[in-house]
Structure 1
Amino acid sequence: MKISAVIPAYNSATFIRAAIESIQAQTSKVDEIIVVDDGSTDNTEQVLKTFAHTVIYHKQANQGPSAARNKGIELASGDWIAFLDADDQWTVDKTTKQIQALQTNPELHLIAGDMTEIDNDDQLLTQSVLAKHKMLDYFQQLAGKPVPNALAALVKKNFIPTGTVLVKRQTLLEAGMFNTEIRYGEDLELWAKIATFHAVTCLPDILMLRRQHGNNATQASEGMLIDLTKVTESIRNFASSQLTAQGISPNSLVAEAQWTLGYWYFSGGNNAKAREAFKKSLSQDFTLTNLLYLIFSILPASLINALRIIKQKFAKS
């Protein structure tokens, strides 16, 4: 078993040293560290020169983190790939715990884990992201065994943080690696492809410290929600029968993503785009909620505002 660690980097001079050192400090050593510099304009390259004899460095024009990760996968000589973003850190026994899980469950193709969130000053923000999302107990009970109906679980809530992943390189290649056409949710699409055909798990152990700051804080945005509709459509295309077998309606999955996008537009007062999204949602899955919101998006803005005021008054009473 040979492990290659892949780090995509973009203007990462501040934190990348700590990221690399957290990999080098592993109790079970990785075999190579690959940093793909995705067109940095700061002194990331100068920082990495101090690791010249221990890190494989590749610089390319800026293409985004997916393209950088894909290049790292291509350059890797390991049969297993681990990922880490340049501003995050692994816990010291991350790879040891994953190797142990693989030895116990050799059918696994992907092993992820829990993570802690910290700020730019290394102060604790969230001890356990799994606990935050009320999933820790479930994965503790699972104890590293393959997740049952993993595809259905993933589309309900992505439980695979990219920076904790250890995955077979051949499995990544067969899945097509990261989709560079999608900026948000490309990781979910890839993990869903893998979970459709292979055993995956998530360990209830903290394997990574994820740095939460303005550049990576998860906030709903138009681009993110549009990409979510693309991801759900893609998953429906390659895993429709598997979703159905695991109790998930493929069309409802797409409809929900379109409704969420429509509601975001509607809440922001963009009724024209909201109508288009609600229509698409309704065409995939006819529900009373979809129909009502489509009707609301057609109403005059003055009437919508009056209804909102009435709703707020009832909510306070």
Structure 2
Amino acid sequence: MKISAVIPAYNSAKFIRAAISSIQAQTSKVDEIIVVDDGSMDDTEQIVKDISHAIIYHKQLNQGPSAARNKGIELASGDWIAFLDADDQWTPDKIAKQIQTLQAHPELHLIAGDMTEIDNDDLLITNSVLAKHQMLASFQHLAGKPVPNALAALVMKNFIPTGTVLVKRHTLIETGMFNAEIRFGEDLELWAKIAACHPITCLPDILMLRRQHGNNATQASEAMLINLTKVMDSICDFAAPQLINQGVSPDNLVAEAQWTLGYWYFNGGDNAKARQAFSKSLSQKFKLGTLLYFISSSLPAPLIDTLRVIKQKFAKP
């Protein structure tokens, strides 16, 4: 078993030394470290080369983290790939725990884990992200065994932080690697495609310290919600039979993603785009509530504002 660690980096001079150090400090060593510099304009290259000439360093024009990870996968000689973003850190026994899990469950193709969130000064924000989302107990019960109906679980809530993943290189290539055309949710798309075909698991152990700052804070935006509709379209195209077998309606998944986008537009006052999204949602799955929002988004703006005031008035306890 040979493990390649892949780090996509973009203007990462401030944190990349700590990221690489956390890989080098593993109790079970990785076989190679690959840094794909995605067009940095700071001192990232010099810092990486100063750390060790054994690190495989590749610089390319800025194409986004998915393209950088894909290049790292292509450059890797390992049969297993582990990912780490340049501003995050692994816990010292991350790889050891995943190897131990593989020895107990050799059928696994992907092993993820829990993570802690820290700020730019390494201060604790969230001790356990799985606990934060009320998922820790279920993974503690599994104790490393394959997640049952993992595809269905993933499309409900992505429980796989990319920086905790250890995955078979062949499986990544088989499923098409990261979709560079999608900038938000491309990780969910890939993990779902893998889960549709292979056993995966998520350990209830902290395997990574993820740095939360302004550049990576998750918040609803037009681009993010549009990409979510693309992700759900892609997953349903790839794995509709598996979704149905696991009790999930592909049409409902796509409809919900379009409804969420439509509601975001509606709240922002962009009624034309809201109608378009609600219409796409209805074409996938008819729901009375969606129809009412579609009709509401066709009304004159002053009337919509009046209806909002009335709704808020009756919503108050």
TM-score by length of 1: 0.99
Counterpart residue type for residue 176 of structure 1: G
Name the SS for the 1:14 alignment partner. Answer: coil
Give the Å deviation of 1:50. 1.0
Name the SS for the 1:298 alignment partner. Answer: coil
Which residue is 2:64 aligned to? 64
Which residue is 1:100 aligned to? 100
Give the Å deviation of 1:48. 1.0
Give matches, 1:7-46, under 5 Å. Answer: 7-46=7-46
More moved, 44-53 vs 95-104: 44-53
Counterpart residue type for residue 68 of structure 2: A
Give matches, 1:146-225, under 5 Å. Answer: 146-225=146-225
Inter-partner Cα distance in structure 1 for 2:241 and 2:203: 27
Which residue is 2:238 aligned to? 238
Which residue is 2:254 aligned to? 254
Give the Å deviation of 1:290. 1.1
TM-score by length of 2: 0.99
Give the Å deviation of 1:215. 0.3
Which residue is 1:123 aligned to? 123
Inter-partner Cα distance in structure 1 for 2:124 and 2:314: 39
- The CA deviation string for residues 162-196 of structure 1, in whole angstroms up to 9 with x for no partner, is 00000000000101100011111110110011000
Which residue is 1:314 aligned to? 314
Counterpart residue type for residue 106 of structure 2: P
Inter-partner Cα distance in structure 2 for 1:256 and 1:239: 17
Inter-partner Cα distance in structure 2 for 1:47 and 1:199: 38
Inter-partner Cα distance in structure 2 for 1:141 and 1:298: 49
Give the Å deviation of 1:19. 0.1
Name the SS for the 1:202 alignment partner. Answer: strand
Inter-partner Cα distance in structure 1 for 2:62 and 2:307: 47
More moved, 171-180 vs 297-306: 297-306
- The CA deviation string for residues 181-227 of structure 1, in whole angstroms up to 9 with x for no partner, is 11111101100110000000000000000000000000111111001
Inter-partner Cα distance in structure 2 for 1:133 and 1:315: 27
Give the Å deviation of 1:63. 0.7
Which residue is 1:296 aligned to? 296
Is there any run of 5+ residues in structure 2 with no aligned partner, and where? none
More moved, 1-10 vs 288-297: 288-297
Q: How many residue pairs get matched?
A: 317
Inter-partner Cα distance in structure 1 for 2:122 and 2:54: 25
Counterpart residue type for residue 214 of structure 2: G
Counterpart residue type for residue 252 of structure 1: N
Give the Å deviation of 1:307. 1.4
Inter-partner Cα distance in structure 2 for 1:105 and 1:257: 34
Give matches, 1:277-292, under 5 Å. Answer: 277-292=277-292
Inter-partner Cα distance in structure 2 for 1:59 and 1:170: 24
Give the Å deviation of 1:39. 0.4
Inter-partner Cα distance in structure 2 for 1:209 and 1:83: 13
Which residue is 2:90 aligned to? 90
Inter-partner Cα distance in structure 1 for 2:293 and 2:128: 36
Name the SS for the 1:210 alignment partner. Answer: strand
Inter-partner Cα distance in structure 2 for 1:196 and 1:22: 32
Counterpart residue type for residue 99 of structure 1: I
Counterpart residue type for residue 199 of structure 1: P
Give the Å deviation of 1:289. 1.3
- The CA deviation string for residues 10-32 of structure 1, in whole angstroms up to 9 with x for no partner, is 00000000000000000100000
Whether 1:140 aligns to 2:140 is yes
Inter-partner Cα distance in structure 2 for 1:252 and 1:315: 27
More moved, 301-310 vs 94-103: 301-310
Give the Å deviation of 1:54. 2.8
Inter-partner Cα distance in structure 2 for 1:61 and 1:19: 22
Counterpart residue type for residue 2 of structure 1: K
Counterpart residue type for residue 23 of structure 1: I
Give the Å deviation of 1:43. 0.8
Inter-partner Cα distance in structure 1 for 2:244 and 2:36: 39
Inter-partner Cα distance in structure 2 for 1:93 and 1:296: 54
Give the Å deviation of 1:314. 2.0
Give the Å deviation of 1:51. 2.2
Give the Å deviation of 1:53. 2.2
Inter-partner Cα distance in structure 1 for 2:11 and 2:238: 35
Inter-partner Cα distance in structure 2 for 1:22 and 1:276: 47
Is there any run of 5+ residues in structure 1 with no aligned partner, and where? none
Name the SS for the 1:224 alignment partner. Answer: helix
